[in-house]
């Protein structure tokens, strides 16, 4: 298809193409779950897409079938096809029930320590399967891979989302992921430029500061981005970070020195530059709903992701152009990149019918979700990245199954029917759920305890808060000699912290994943044939 000449679009229409808004994946207004992060009712969303002409939508959560219908609805409202984005770093199933859910990327780092070629192949398959399933539901912009080098175990926002702790491993695995996705008409995204791996502050809430000098950035943070660009990554997402060595005044998202001089000129990146979500505290607490989008565009961003108010953002950028702060040519450059990206994705658009670009000959349908071969790859990654110690298998005996998790009410991986609950229950253990808000825990003196910890320190999760609860409980059970077995799902850093204190006979299993498949694999190791 041919998009119209940019001169046929008004300035406001051009700027609107740079805006990507948040939307609920559910079909009905009463199902909206995250209004504080930009999800709005049907009428407002239709106004943004149909009247303002925003260029894209980002989704988070729900089920794959309903999401597919939702995306069809939104594309039908659009004058030009929409970029449909999602943070599916661990596969479609991470955010949308029904798809394949992979272990966090750092699981591949564990495999790479003993078998790098196998880890690289897993990363390639992960990219290919994620791309295929994304197309099946209508997602065309995969906000992955994360190419941050997580060399700070206390990192509350990247952590196990990274492919590893060294630039060499991260570069190789991220490159393989990009190559795997490249066989499908989707966009990939390297994030978070110029590197969010060595922070101890979550940019969803505050502005982290990285004090490393230029030499350190060149040797650790920047190489994976260079590799991703060389591999043909379609977009790069900025980080909400202050890095004085590159720009002592502005965070990367709002810095011309970092986005234009460093990323565009020094690294030679020609694809889309996107902000991270502008509703995040690192930006919103310091810059207004109108200033942040203008500063981001002036810095070099092509995509204004999740502005606080899309309508105000469009007006503010238009005013900046009219007042001479931003050139009209600068806007056309960004929209030109967006046009080229959309041409990669779509071959036909008449306002009603939308057909994906024929990069891959197999039509994408919902039937491709969670195919047996895809699920087998996901299971193999979980299995091959397990860590076990102690006397296994454990001989079950009546006791208590204490499950510690970050959020009980919003858990996407735990229910009364998932293995972490059902398997111990069948073996005679009584369930007790605990989070950081739980009152003092009462344990009878003669009870034996299976302790299952679901802790991965992900954004918004409060994971670092639950760690202290888990540590206190762990120490209490060891002191009272009541700990029968330990299973940790999520953070290898927690495993590394706990493992040295475990008596050698107590069985312990660590699994990177938290989903039902991970629970089955871990408990099979713990109990062997008894489950």
Segment 494-517 mean pLDDT: 95
Judge residue 140's burial from the number of C-beta atoms within 10 Å of its C-beta, 0-12 exposed, 13-18 middle, 19 or more buried: buried
pLDDT digits (tens, 9 = 90+) for 26-56: 988 899 888 887 899 999 999 999 999 999 9
Cα–Cα distance between 455 and 278 in angstroms, integer? 27
Compute the distance between CA of residue 146 and CA of residue 295 in angstroms, rounded to an integer: 24
Sole residue written with tokens 């009410």: 409
Q: Is the pLDDT of residue 464 over 60?
A: no
What is the percentage of the chain residues whose pLDDT exceeds 90? 76
**Spatial separation of the C-alpha atoms in residues 46 and 67, rounded to whole Å:** 16
Helix or strand run (H / E) with residue 73:
helix 64-77
Tens digit of pLDDT for each residue in 364-421? 578 889 999 999 999 999 999 999 999 999 999 989 999 999 887 778 899 999 999 9
User: Above 50 in pLDDT, residue 358?
Assistant: no
Lowest pLDDT segment from 47-61, 201-215, 329-343: 201-215
Q: What is the pLDDT of residue 154?
A: 81
Chain centroid offset of residue 276 CA: 12
Q: Is the peptide bond before 164 cis (omega within 30 degrees of 0)?
A: no
Q: How many CB atoms lie within 10 A of CB 463?
A: 23
- CA nearest to 274, candidates 207, 341, 349, 175: 341
Alpha-carbon span 196 to 343, nearest angstrom: 31
Q: What are phi and psi of 443, to 5 degrees?
A: -125, 125
In the numeric block, which tokens belong to residue 278?
């502008």
DSSP 244: T
CA angle 326, 327, 329 (to 5 degrees): 140
**Average of pLDDT values for 478-504?**
95
> Per-residue pLDDT averaged across 194-217, rounded?
81
In the DSSP assignment, the letter for residue 393 is: S
Residues 6+ away with beta carbon under 8 Å from 294: 316, 317, 320, 325, 326
Give pLDDT, residue 360.
Answer: 38
pLDDT of 1 > 60? The answer is no
- Active-site residue (options: 148, 198, 202, 276): 276
Collapsed DSSP state (helix, strand, coil) of residue 213: coil
Q: What is the pLDDT of residue 348?
A: 53
Rounded to whole angstroms, the Cα distance separating 48 from 24 reads 14
Between CA 115 and CA 120 the distance in angstroms is 9
Output the pLDDT for position 290: 84
Please state, in angstroms and rounded to a whole number, the distance separating the CA atoms of residues 137 and 86: 11
Q: With 60 as the cut, is the pLDDT of residue 355 above it?
A: no
Catalytic residue status for 204: yes
**Gap between the Cα atoms of 176 and 161, Å rounded:** 16
Q: What is the pLDDT of residues 281-325, one digit of tens each?
A: 668 777 877 899 999 999 999 999 999 999 999 999 999 999 999
Asked if the model's pLDDT at residue 523 lies above 90, the reply is yes
Whether the Cβ atoms of residue 253 and residue 307 lie closer than 8 Å to each other: no
Active-site residue (options: 47, 204, 212, 530): 204
Contact present, 163 and 169 (Cβ < 8 Å):
yes
Is the whole-model pTM more than 0.85? yes
CB 96 within 8 A of CB 61: yes
Please report, for residues 84, 142, 274, 331, 347, the alpha-carbon distance to residue 3 in angstroms, rounded to integers and kept in the order given: 18, 22, 21, 16, 11
212 included as an active-site residue: no
Q: Taking residues 170-189, report their average pLDDT.
A: 97
Residues 129-162 pLDDT 10s: 999 999 999 999 999 999 999 988 888 788 999 9
Question: Would you say how long the chain is, in residues?
Answer: 531
What are 223-233's pLDDT values in tens digits? 999 999 999 99
């Amino acid at each position: 298809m041919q998009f119209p000449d940019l001169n046929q679009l008004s300035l406001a229409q051009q700027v609107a193409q740079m805006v990507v808004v948040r939307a609920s994946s559910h079909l009905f207004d009463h199902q909206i779950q995250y209004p504080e992060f930009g999800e709005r009712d049907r009428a407002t969303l239709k106004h943004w897409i149909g009247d303002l002409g925003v260029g894209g939508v980002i989704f988070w959560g729900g089920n794959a079938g309903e999401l597919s219908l939702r995306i069809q609805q939104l594309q039908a409202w659009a004058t030009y096809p929409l970029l449909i984005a999602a943070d599916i770093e661990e596969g479609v199933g991470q955010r949308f029930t029904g798809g394949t859910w992979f272990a966090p990327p750092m699981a591949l780092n564990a495999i790479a320590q003993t078998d790098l070629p196998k880890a690289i192949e897993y990363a390639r398959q992960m990219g290919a399967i994620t791309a295929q399933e994304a197309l099946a539901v209508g997602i065309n912009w995969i906000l992955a891979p994360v190419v941050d080098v997580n060399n700070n175990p206390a990192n509350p926002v990247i952590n196990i989302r990274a492919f590893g702790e060294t630039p060499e491993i991260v570069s190789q695995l991220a490159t393989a992921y990009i190559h795997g996705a490249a066989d499908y008409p989707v966009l990939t995204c390297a994030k978070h430029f110029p590197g969010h791996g060595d922070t101890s502050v979550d940019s969803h809430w505050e502005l982290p500061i990285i004090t490393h000098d230029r030499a350190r950035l060149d040797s650790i943070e920047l190489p994976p981005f260079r590799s991703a660009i060389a591999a043909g990554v379609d977009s790069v997402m900025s980080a909400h970070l202050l890095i004085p060595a590159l720009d002592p005044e502005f965070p990367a998202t709002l810095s011309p020195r970092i986005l234009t001089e460093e990323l565009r000129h020094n690294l030679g990146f020609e694809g889309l530059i996107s902000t991270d979500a502008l509703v995040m505290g690192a930006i919103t607490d310091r810059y207004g709903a109108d200033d942040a989008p203008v500063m981001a565009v002036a810095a070099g961003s092509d995509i204004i992701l999740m502005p606080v108010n899309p309508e105000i953002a469009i007006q503010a950028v238009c005013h900046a152009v009219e007042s001479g702060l931003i050139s009209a040519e600068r806007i056309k450059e960004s929209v030109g990149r967006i046009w080229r990206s959309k041409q990669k994705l779509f071959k036909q658009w008449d306002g009603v019918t939308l057909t994906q670009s024929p990069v891959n000959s197999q039509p994408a349908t919902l039937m491709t979700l969670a195919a047996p071969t895809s699920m087998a790859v996901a299971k193999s990654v979980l299995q091959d990245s397990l860590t076990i110690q102690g006397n296994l298998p454990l001989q079950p005996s009546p006791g208590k199954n204490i499950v510690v998790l970050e959020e009980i009410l919003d858990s996407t991986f735990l229910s009364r029917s998932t293995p972490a609950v059902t398997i111990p229950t069948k073996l005679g253990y009584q369930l007790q759920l605990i989070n950081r808000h739980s009152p003092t825990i009462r344990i009878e003196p003669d009870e034996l305890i299976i302790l299952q910890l679901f802790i991965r320190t992900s954004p918004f999760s409060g994971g670092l808060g639950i760690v202290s609860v888990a540590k206190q409980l762990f120490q209490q059970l060891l002191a009272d000699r009541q700990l029968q077995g330990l299973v940790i799902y999520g953070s290898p850093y927690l495993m590394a912290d706990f493992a040295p204190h475990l008596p050698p006979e107590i069985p312990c299993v660590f699994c990177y994943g938290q989903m039902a498949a991970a629970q089955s694999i871990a408990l099979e190791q713990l109990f062997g044939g008894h489950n």
